[in-house]
Structure 1
Amino acid sequence: MTIELTLNNETETQKFAQRLAQNAKMPLVIYLQGDLGVGKTTFARSFIQFFGFNKVKSPTYSLVESYQNQDINIHHFDCYRLSDPEELEYIGIREYLKGSHIQLIEWPDLGKGMVAPADLTIALSGNNDTRKLTATDHSNIGQELLQRIA
């Protein structure tokens, strides 16, 4: 299943991310794809903030930022600065693959072979304020999530 949307401003991107978060269940792996500046981090930040985490940092330099409370366990990865997927071994990627988590992975192609397979891909494109968002499922988990928000 695929959903395509036109998002006319950053607020619409944030609202879609929060709607997706509202319907998300663990475990879940979401790939965030698109060029620099299309809103991947904005999407991830809004998704995470839905769960009550007000201070959400970009994991550009740390590779991963984790957010946990009694209800949710989220890991936000940014693979942009990887020169080799094997670098994920240094942050203990195998531990993140265990258990029931939500993983948001920016630039997943740069972590190929090391990151978990996607349940859902969110692809963003466009320029200025208008963005095209394409959400595509890759598993039963992803399909169920898209059906809940469609």
Structure 2
Amino acid sequence: MPGKPDEFGVRYWLTVDAKNRYILNGFPYLGKDATRPPDKPLSEHVMLRLMESFFDKEKNVTTDSYFTSVSLANELKKRKTSFVGTLNRARWEEPSSVKHTRDPLHTTILLKSNGMVLTSYQGKVTEYVLVLSTLHTGVDIDQ
């Protein structure tokens, strides 16, 4: 990237305790990984590998849109780990009822399925945020 100070860099995948600002687990990205099953996305494989020491301890994981997927949320739920993450609206997993709805500002749509809650919040005319959660059973919005 022309704006970067160095031409080359190293990417690290990290698990961080947000409260204490402490790195709990991590490993460098070394390119193609022979241990990853071909049918599993890279983001899901990385997340499961980072969280393997925290399974069955009833912890919560919060991620950005790169790691968030319904299949990852289901996998973490099976391992007694709750999940909250923003969902990239370009992904195929977004329900069509959310894709085609463009209501006025501050619209919230709640979809509940299989112990997951998908919340859509539109704060600007052209932008909205999707949040997928297995931690919450519902959402309250304060105007």
TM over 0.5: no
Normalised to the residue count of structure 2, the TM-score between the two structures is 0.31
Whichever of the two has the greater Rg, that structure is 2
Normalised to the residue count of structure 1, the TM-score between the two structures is 0.30
Tell me which protein shows more helix as a share of its residues. 1
Larger relative contact order, structure 1 or 2 (CA cutoff 8 Å, min sep 6): 1
